[in-house]
Structure 1
């Protein structure tokens, strides 16, 4: 088949519940989608353990990556086309970075990263630059093209406008996952008028800006993000599942280091346990592999590993209470001692989990995780930072909200028939408000 000018002889489309259709016209994009590394994203859920809370949340990083690509394609081909501030030579680079931005996510994403001290963005760049199918496809555009794609994802690329399309406080990544996650979880919080936002986006030298007339659509977008974090992403039941998932991985690693003889050896984890993980090893990991081990480990002799795996697979999750570590440190120390007295290992069965979010921030130069603000383009061409014009956004700007929960196995505590006094003491502490 012939592909003149890098275009497919016939446009390919994916049916999509969020964007209706995802259009692929470039051979480069079509070839990237067909690589094993990109197809692996079908086996990584977008929302990790959230499917145990919202049963529809079975969508994948594959779905989301295509969605981010489609939003960028629409911005470049429909909104920015022939505008003098936009360099059309950056089109394919932007599309590739959008498509590949989540390539390095591991199974259950952030929980997996925390246990093994990994960074999905580092693996994304390693896959793009390594001996992979992705790299071979990108090299068709030139020897330095994979490096450019990696730089956009690392936010170090010289054209900051390209970077801001994929990574900023109003980028294609967020616009897709808010709508997609709302759709698949069945909630209404994540909906906003993306069509309006796209229409009022304008390219400037180093970032995307929004016409002043589109301010209210942006306010709605920011509030949607705020609600999604607290109603979906930080849902306490999903966090309970993530706590158990994390403890399973910690326990298996501890047993391996201790010389424990597994009935089902964690062969896929050896390089992780020995801090020798390669890109090739990493790409073999997906959620089907992890769940295979969890089901197998339900039969292990180690009672902690077996119990935790049963809990995750059968969705027998930990209960939780509000718990402020700054005000309840004494109760926390008492609970640890009581758990030990009862024969429950607090390292695995008493877990304090905190979630924190900053819905919007203005520019704080020099600070860690610098956030470039959203700018409005006024009718006279002047740029104004969003919170200076919007009272709604000003009210939440720079304000970080943090939530603490204490997780524990209610069923085990209730079963303390021979240790009634310890049981009563534990329940008494857990009932105390802070």
Structure 2
């Protein structure tokens, strides 16, 4: 057993059989991919990486399973528990430079500049992660993990959101659900490094009241306040940190810079999985000399760009959506010196079979039936416009548009 000291969870225990997976260069690569891209331009402490988040997700998944097993009287062997922990460990193994911002850059390259590139939206890293597991880590995983399951197939089924049996279903819910190990770690970790309290919630109480039955992961009703606390923490982190307009502005600048590097052939999406090994933040930073000075100075020195500070109302958002082709054209004609970036998140939304379930004395029920507070949560949607002084004409154009539609 190895111990890793972590500022969020204290000591993270790593079983000896998992250590070679963590030591593998493809996992170590995550040290060089920032968790929250350029959020450090606003919150200077947010320089943490996908590496420590992945360790935290593994730790919390194992903690969740310990209490789920005891509360639910599950016949869950240690090999399967370990396999679920490794699945959580590898859930972000396919992330590209600057995490989700690179995925946004692919969309910008395609939609704004017309480049034919791989674009699977926010699931691009999952697609690449599965390829890494299949082609690089598979033999190591099979050699280290004993299980009645096929370990590689198990991990791929869970990460692709296609569970085939009860164990895979439990793994999927523990790792990626409305309340899960992934979200729990990044809320606690990101708020810690941002120096804010928005993402804090009582993780110690939450994990002790988890229950699994009939394919559903539920929280016992005595922990309902923590469930509400968790979902509110998530909403506040998105509103105040992830969707901060200046964070969005700089991530938009980075997205256009990456798109320009792709267009000019300075970087290319790796054709072979092994080429992903050196595909990290350092590569992008080293290539910034190839993009125009205005973009480079913004990313390296936080210089040059201005932000339009008017928050669009609901009617404005509808008008802007109808103008999307024109906006893309203006970004393209300015070569990235005029920018538009959109944020969108739904804090909580119930569907037929997807919800947070609460275990009450009368059985399992959906969260919205029990919590009026959570039923009031609505979609979080924001946009930010930015421009370099050399593109001030476009800046004035959209300032007038926002002033006009906000009056309606």
- Name the TM tier (shorter chain): 0.7 to 0.9
1:3-402 equivalences in 2 (<5 Å): 11-24=1-14, 26-81=15-70, 83-88=72-77, 89-116=79-106, 117-118=119-120, 119-130=124-135, 132=136, 134-140=137-143, 141=145, 144-157=150-163, 158-159=165-166, 160-256=169-265, 266=266, 269-270=267-268, 272=269, 277-294=271-288, 296-297=289-290, 305-316=292-303, 317-321=305-309, 322-323=311-312, 324-327=316-319, 345-364=333-352, 372-380=354-362, 382-396=363-377, 399-402=378-381
Does the aligned pair in 1 maintain the 2:220–2:360 contact within 8 Å?
Answer: yes
C-alpha change, 1:201 and 1:423, in structure 2 (3 Å) is: closer
Number of residue pairs aligned between Structure 1 and Structure 2: 378
What is the alpha-carbon distance in structure 2 between the residues aligned to residue 332 and residue 161 of structure 1?
41
Q: CA RMSD in A?
A: 2.7
TM-score, length basis structure 2: 0.85
Distance (whole Å) between structure 2 residues aligned to residue 193 and residue 427 of structure 1: 43
SS of the residue corresponding to residue 80 of structure 1 reads helix
Residue 196 of structure 1: how far off its partner (Å)? 0.7
Bigger mean CA deviation after superposition, 12-21 or 322-331: 322-331
- Specify the SS of the correspondent of 2:197: coil
Does the Cα contact within 8 Å between 1:38 and 1:103 map onto a contact in 2?
A: yes
Deviation at 1:29, TM superposition (A): 1.5
- Provide structure 1 residue ranges, at least 5 long, that are not aligned to the other structure: 1-10, 257-265, 299-304, 366-371, 415-421
Return the alpha-carbon distance in structure 2 between the equivalents of residues 403 and 109 of structure 1. Answer: 20
SS in 1 for 2:318: coil
Query: CA separation in 2, counterparts of 1:423 and 1:229?
Result: 28
- 8 Å Cα contact 1:72-1:94 kept in structure 2: yes
Which position in structure 1 is the counterpart of 2:116? Answer: none
CA contact (8 A) 1:86 1:203 kept: no
CA drift at 1:45: 0.7
CA distance in 2, matches of 1:249, 1:428: 27
**Partner SS for 2:347:** coil
C-alpha distance in 1 between matches for 2:67 and 2:325: 59
Measure the CA separation in 1 of the matches of 2:328 and 2:213. Answer: 55
1:379 and 1:53, CA in 2 relative to 1: closer, same or farther beyond 3 A? same
Structure scoring higher RCO (CA < 8 A, sep ≥ 6) equals 2
Which TM-score applies when normalising by structure 1?
0.80
**Native 8 Å contact 1:336 1:346 kept in 2:** no
Going from structure 1 to structure 2, the CA distance change for 1:201 and 1:331 (only over 3 Å counts) comes to closer
CA distance in 2, matches of 1:126, 1:239: 30
Q: For 1:376 and 1:72, how far apart are their aligned partners in 2?
A: 19
TM superposition shift of 1:204: 1.6
2:111 corresponds in structure 1 to: none
**Structure 1 position 378, deviation (Å):** 0.9
CA distance in 1, matches of 2:253, 2:359: 47
Bigger Cα Rg = 1
